[in-house]
Amino acid sequence: MRKARWLAEWADKTGKPAIYHCVSRVVDRRFVLGDEEREKFRTFMRMQENFSGCRVLSYCVMSNHFHILLEVPVMPEGGITDRELLKRLGAVYGEAFVAGVEAELAGARKDGDEALVAEIHARFTYRMHSLSEFMKTLLQRFTRWFNRTHERCGTLWEQRYKSVIVESGVAARTMAAYIDLNPVRAGMVKDPADYRWSSYGEAVGGGKKGNGKKARAGLVRAANLKLETFNPKGEEDLVGQWREVSRTYRRVMGMALERKALNSKVQPSRKSGAAAGMNDAEYLENTPPEGSAPLSMAKMLRCRVRYFTDGAVIGSKGFVDDAFASARSRVSGKRKDGARRLRGNGKAAADTLWSMRDLRVGVT
């Protein structure tokens, strides 16, 4: 029997966006996603992002699975404008199709037929601002392309995709880093910047098309912003914060600021206690920036943390308890609260992050 998916039920009431960590694996966990396939997956992901109004904060496409940290905003009150609708349609449909919708809208507006205008919008907007529609469309579209390209048929993905609700702030920043460190954990690269098919690799090196702005904006939002309402800054504004945020983000990942360790000794102002005698790279890895996770959490991210894929809700104790309260009917009546302490590989975050599910197997 399938477990019902945990969704951010407060989103429609508060207007605050929800963030989800989504994971899906290839059937039988076969290693079938090569360079071409990973590039195509990223292309489809960006197309769906531009269409749906959702924002990819972090992602990593591996050889047999992928991770996406997705921000899903509530549909604006009153819907979106005709201009915005046409812009989004242009992300996934051809010019002729969009022109046809534009002409239909223009005709309805001219006739003052608001009911028809609403019906035209509804044809497409039900697929926007939705976790399930984003994932369903992305997986189906990639599967069709993959099957056609490799002359195969049938399902490509193993069961349903997994999703975990993630609190903005520390939890989102930590989850983004966990996602970007996938190829490091797998022993494929030593530095996440060297892996092309991830948010950090794209942000540093740019994608096959473009200059990495989309990835930088997503990571800035994941690493640096506390989301209270969905009022995102312009992409250019977010990208402008990348230089500063990227330094903090590398610290969260436990990486040196520079790609190579520096040989110079730390500055006198740094020399205090354990910092004395360290070079810059050593100091960085042992001195977390203000407001970031401690070193033990950076080390934790090099391990598989099952809570991050199976914990249902991840965040502060208050955040998890609030999510529990909003979905009280889903759990046993004997349970008094929602937050459960992380154990095993997640123990380093036990006083910072909490889980909805109390996992007991596979948490070492």
Going by pLDDT thresholds of 50, 70 and 90, the confidence category of residue 14 is low
- Cα dihedral: 313, 317, 318, 323 (round 10): 20
- Pairing mode of beta strands 354-355, 340-341: antiparallel
Higher confidence at residue 336 or residue 206?
336
Among 55-69, 87-101, 117-131, 281-295, which is the least confidently predicted range? Answer: 281-295
Q: What is the pLDDT of residues 211-250, one digit of tens each?
A: 788 999 999 999 875 544 334 455 666 667 888 888 889 9
Residues 6+ apart with CB under 8 A from 259: 191, 193
pLDDT above 60 for 259: no
Tell me the mean pLDDT in the region 66-76. 95
pLDDT above 60 for 30: yes
Q: At what angle do helices 82-89 and 95-110 cross, to 10 degrees?
A: 160
Q: What is the pLDDT of residues 132-180, one digit of tens each?
A: 999 999 999 999 999 999 999 999 999 899 999 999 999 999 999 999 9
Mean pLDDT of the chain: 85
pLDDT above 60 for 5: yes
